[in-house]
Amino acid sequence: MSLELVTLRMAPGFVALLIGVAGGAAAAIGLTTNGPISIIGVMIAAALVPAAGVVGIGIAWSDPVLTVGALLLLVATLVAVNVSIVATLLLVGYRSDAYFLMRSPTWDRTTVVAALLVVAVLVAAVAATGAQMRYERDVNAGVETVLDRPAYDRVFLTGVSTPYTNPLLFDRPHEVTVTVERPVGRSYPELSDRLKTELESRTGSPVTVRVKHVPYTSPARVTDPSRAVGVPVGAARERVVPR
């Protein structure tokens, strides 16, 4: 199993909710037309099963951050699916007696409590996701600030990984993985410490920084410089390919 597939479902996100909305609309269309009913199973498999699986993985690993983040994603996606289904049914002309509840409310205590819980979960999910996005923005800016220094003029940033940690619910050190390309034979042992200092200064929280180095040889001609991440147009380099 790829850990990347787990990290993609550690928190509610726009893409995940968009999948829920699209899946709900597809399921409603499948029910109301001659379309295949099996599309409902496809929707469940695509929108809900992965998040539910990550919840189980978080429980098995005894990781509260992973469990809560995936659970928020699951609930948010479930709400998005149901809202999309109802909206699609209304758009195609389906109505029921429940549609007129606003004229004669019959809300009982259980319904009100359930509705409030759903709203609370969605608010928490949005707030946690917003906090994570701000943290990732500060991390990316800090990494770029350090690598812009003259000492790292031959070091090129290729990626920054900041796992979801739900900073609103859990206070623990963040783990940031920075992947860079450097010349063969050159080492930058102080880079990790400088990144750690800069990131902690920007974010105000403890950070564990891991730096992955990918060596490359002296500059060589490449056919598409734009594909070299972090390299100005016109510059080129060749990676060392392990044998």
Kindly report, residue by residue over 123-168, the tens digit of the pLDDT: 777 777 777 778 888 999 999 999 999 999 999 999 898 876 655 5
The pTM assigned to this predicted structure is 0.57
Per-residue confidence (pLDDT) for residue 181, from 0 to 100: 92
Q: Could you give the 3-state DSSP secondary structure of residue 157?
A: strand
CA-to-CA separations, 182 to 146, 173, 175, 210, 224, in angstroms, rounded: 15, 27, 22, 15, 19
pLDDT tens for residues 40-52? 788 888 888 888 8
Higher local confidence (pLDDT), 78 or 145:
145
User: Is residue 71 within 8 Å of 56, Cβ to Cβ?
Assistant: no
Q: Are 235 and 228 in contact (CB under 8 A)?
A: yes
Q: Tell me how far apart the alpha carbons of residues 68 and 169 are, in angstroms, rounded to a whole number.
A: 9
Contact 77, 51 (CB under 8 A): yes
* pLDDT at position 98: 56
- Sketch out the chain's domains with CATH numbers: 3-106 (no CATH), 133-227 (3.30.70.1350)
Q: Of the ranges 99-108, 168-177, 182-191, which one carries the lowest mean pLDDT score?
A: 99-108
DSSP reduced 3-state for 64:
helix
